[in-house]
Structure 1
Amino acid sequence: MQITDIKIRKFFDEGPMKAVVSVTFDDCLAVHDIKVIYARDRYFIVMPSRKNPDGTYRDIVHPINAEFRAKLENAVIDAYHVQRVAAEHDEAEAAENAVII
């Protein structure tokens, strides 16, 4: 299974959650609401989950083995960094080009 697209849906500046991401596999399956978290001096991902009646959370979808989890996590975090830098560049460029009246 190949990762064919990664879209950062939303960035967050405050708190440990840094982004919400959608990942497409083999151009035929999309997984939405993967979260990029920064905590304990490292980035990691949290798969989409739902809250059970007892207050615990259960993943809706998740990697079955450590090898694929590492591949997915690395790809998502790399895409987060690339797209975050691009978004910051676009914001800075827009600010430079703003016309003050």
Structure 2
Amino acid sequence: MSNEKNTVPQEAEQQPEQAAMPLKLDVTARPIEPKGNLVGFASIKFNDAFVVEDFKILQSDKGIFVGMPSKPDKTSKTGYRDTAKPITAEFRKELTGAVVAAYHAEVEKLQSRAAAVTVPEKKSIPEQLAEGVKQAAKDNAARPAPAKASKAKSAAR
């Protein structure tokens, strides 16, 4: 096995550059119950041909930002090393914008579902107790009074 890096043959380098195909990003965002500043995860499919998973969606004082997929690395300052990352600032901005937009769309979808579900308002415990006392008083008033035994019957015995 050779230690040489895979290189592109010179013939490919000499071919005229083809027009770059427009980049299609399909983002799947999954909001989660926040854990610290982590609020979700995302996967991105590039041109229906390549998927990168485990983008982290994070909330900070400055807003939502996207953390690149990473793995633990004891030699780095942060303890993690990015396993996939954009090379240019322009693409980083495009990628981040697509993830943030997908995250907001998912959150809106969840909020509209939650709003569509009508849950009856529960009364506070003191209100429930007061209502119970009133209902018990009504029930007691509706019952016939117990028949009192006459004194004559009890004296005859």
Task: Answer 1 or 2: which has greater strand percent.
Answer: 1
Aligned: 1:60 with 2:88: no
Offset at residue 12 of structure 1 (A): 2.6
Q: Contact between 1:3 and 1:23, CA under 8 Å: does it hold in 2?
A: no
Q: Which 5+ residue runs of structure 2 have no aligned equivalent? A: 1-21, 121-157
User: In the aligned structure 2, how far is the partner of 1:4 from the partner of 1:54?
Assistant: 32
The TM-score with structure 2 as length reference comes to 0.55
From the CA coordinates, give the structure whose radius of gyration is larger.
Answer: 2
Aligned AA (2:54): D
Corresponding residue number in structure 2 for 1:91: 114
Which deviations, in whole Å up to 9, do the C-alpha atoms of 1:45-78 show, x marking residues without a partner? 0001000134721000000010000000011101
Q: Which residue of 2 aligns with 1:33?
A: 54
Q: Which amino acid aligns with 2:27?
A: I
Give the AA of the match of 1:68: F
Identity of aligned residues (%): 30
Of structures 1 and 2, the one with the larger relative CO (CA 8 A, separation 6+) is 1
Query: Is the helix fraction higher in 1 or 2?
Result: 2
CA RMSD of aligned residues (A): 2.0
In the TM superposition, structure 1's runs of 4+ consecutive aligned residues that sit over 4 Å from their partners are: none
